[in-house]
Structure 1
């Protein structure tokens, strides 16, 4: 079948969007090393992302819809309970754990989302999905280096925050997948980030600002907000409609090895054979989970590829 001339560019866009997410943890850790607190980093990351998204949305004003119609209230709920809580918990995990371990915990969203979907449909996961869950679990044990280190050398609070970030991210994905309507992707993201920013600001208050070093903090916020929200939103908006959601989800798994490799290269975190094998197993588990989804949604995916 002849591909759309922009098909391979779309693949690259999705890969680059996922890689942008993958660079985020390393720079969050660097911001912590620069002396800034979790609250300061989280508020500025989210606040500047909100401003940038609304600036982009203004350019796309013709795509605006009545904010009192459609799924806008749901976007606010997703922005607070899903997006904001994921950011808060993940940043808390990064403050206490290696970036390599924090991202492995976040990627537990794979099997948590499968369970949420099964609970909603009141059915057991299919054989492929159960296999995916088992593979991800085994990969997690290896990637977290539990056989070598156990749980004695890590922060229990950090592990709990990392796992809860996976739960909130699963809810974010699950709720987003149930949204109806045709809101523009950038505007939808801007609404969710704005709602999340309000919650985050209320939680951290005035302590989120640094009078003497606010310029440096804004610089970190600009970098983190761009990597976390702006670049992925724009690139996914270009790529996903052409290659389909299932393939995009699989390509999005590149975030995991990007985090591991950059944490090793920039932060000096250990990169053992066991961790590499664990990462490969997690990515394989994601692939199997998406394969099971693709079998049920094959016709839809093929239609998406034609657009």
Structure 2
């Protein structure tokens, strides 16, 4: 297969992963509304995702390469725990305390955090467009969370902190994944990441995860949330991000925000005022401006040269 179709497939993979992840937050909130606890939802979501990923890996066993050779499993485990799973843990805790639309806006602070990570990694101050992007994202966030409409009184402080922590963890996941080397099968990568992360989840919540009265229903919710939040995004991001880079992935991942906001409106009945819509648009504009210095075309050519 030529390089151009491979690149296009990588872009499409990240876009589809973003759509899947954007559907997650309103559905997690809905699971909470059905009476399931944070511990039950998080354990079943991550545990069943891990099982599904290993089943997929078994189906693709001919593509296996030993992930435990050369210490690669250590890198994958760090990404799985410090990036993928902590995003889920912090984000689900934020959803317990905040509206789904507010939680996803806080998660989207990963955009400027990723910019800062890239700058620190390259030991270079962000360019003027990226600095402008940070300012625009900040302004958009103030509008999107409804501060101007409703003031600060309605916000749960701990929920906001947890939402921001999920943004840090998500940024680390994207940034680390963009620096993975080698040609390991993306399903195997995802399965190893999720296995390491599930160990953390069990340490945190395992003793309080069983619902004796409605375990069957809870398993159904876990499968749905695991597929949308872990299996599809993790596999697709592992396919796309190493090829296109973390910065462009952050831009493409912005599709999560409108998907999550619209799903929260359609499923949960959360209101979306004109001011909040303007804020979401500003955040998306800011993410686009962040890519102007190098541009998607430049990043694409560099990525293809590396491959």
TM over 0.5: yes
Provide the residue aligned with 1:217 in structure 2: 218
How far 1:4 sits from its partner (Å)? 6.1
Q: Is the Cα contact below 8 Å between 1:99 and 1:263 reproduced in 2?
A: yes
Q: Indicate the SS of the match to 1:297.
A: helix
8 Å Cα contact 2:45/2:225 also seen in 1: yes
User: Is the contact made by 2:67 and 2:188 (CA closer than 8 Å) also made in structure 1?
Assistant: no
Task: Name the SS of the counterpart of 1:20 in structure 2.
Answer: helix
Secondary structure (helix, strand or coil) at the match of 2:66 reads coil
Distance in 1 (CA, whole Å) between partners of 2:89 and 2:104 is 14
Match of 1:58 in 2: 58
Q: CA deviation at 1:299?
A: 2.4
- Secondary structure class of the residue paired with 2:25: helix
CA contact (8 A) 2:175 2:246 kept: no
- Contact 1:71/1:179 (CA < 8 Å) preserved in 2? no
Cα distance in 1, alignment partners of residues 129 and 226 from structure 2 = 36
Q: Name the counterpart of 1:116.
A: 117
> 2:40 corresponds to which residue?
40
Q: CA 1:267–1:66 in structure 2 vs 1: closer, same or farther (change >3 Å)?
A: closer
Please state if 1:134 is matched with 2:151. Answer: no
Higher deviation after alignment, 240-249 or 88-97: 240-249
Cα RMSD (Å): 2.6
Residue 20 of structure 2 aligns with which residue? 20
State the TM-score, normalizing by the size of structure 1. Answer: 0.90
- SS of structure 1 residue aligned to 2:291: helix
- Is the alpha carbon distance of 1:84 and 1:9 closer, same or farther for their aligned partners in structure 2, counting shifts above 3 Å? closer
Are 2:178 and 2:243, in contact at CA under 8 Å, matched by a contact in 1? no
Q: 1:86 to 1:10 in 2, by over 3 A?
A: closer
Q: Distance in 2 between matches of 1:187 and 1:157?
A: 35
- Any idea what the Cα deviations from partners look like across 1:212-264, whole Å, max 9, x if unmatched? 21111100000000101222345556667898876554332111001111111
Q: What is residue 95 of structure 2 aligned with on the other side?
A: 94
**Aligned counterparts of 2:14 and 2:127: Cα–Cα separation in 1:** 28
Q: Does 1:297 align with 2:299?
A: yes
Cα separation, 1, equivalents of 2:116 and 2:255: 23
Say how many residue pairs are matched. 304
| Aligned-partner Cα distance in 2 for 1:284–1:30 | 30
Q: Output aligned runs, 1:61-80, within 5 Å.
A: 61-62=61-62, 63-80=64-81
Q: Secondary structure at the match of 1:291?
A: coil
Quote how far apart the aligned CAs of 1:176 are.
Answer: 2.1
Q: Does 1:189 align with 2:190?
A: yes
Distance in structure 1 (CA, Å) of the matches to 2:7 and 2:124: 35
Instruction: Report the Cα distance in structure 2 between the residues aligned to 1:174 and 1:236, rounded to whole angstroms.
Output: 11
SS at match of 1:211: coil
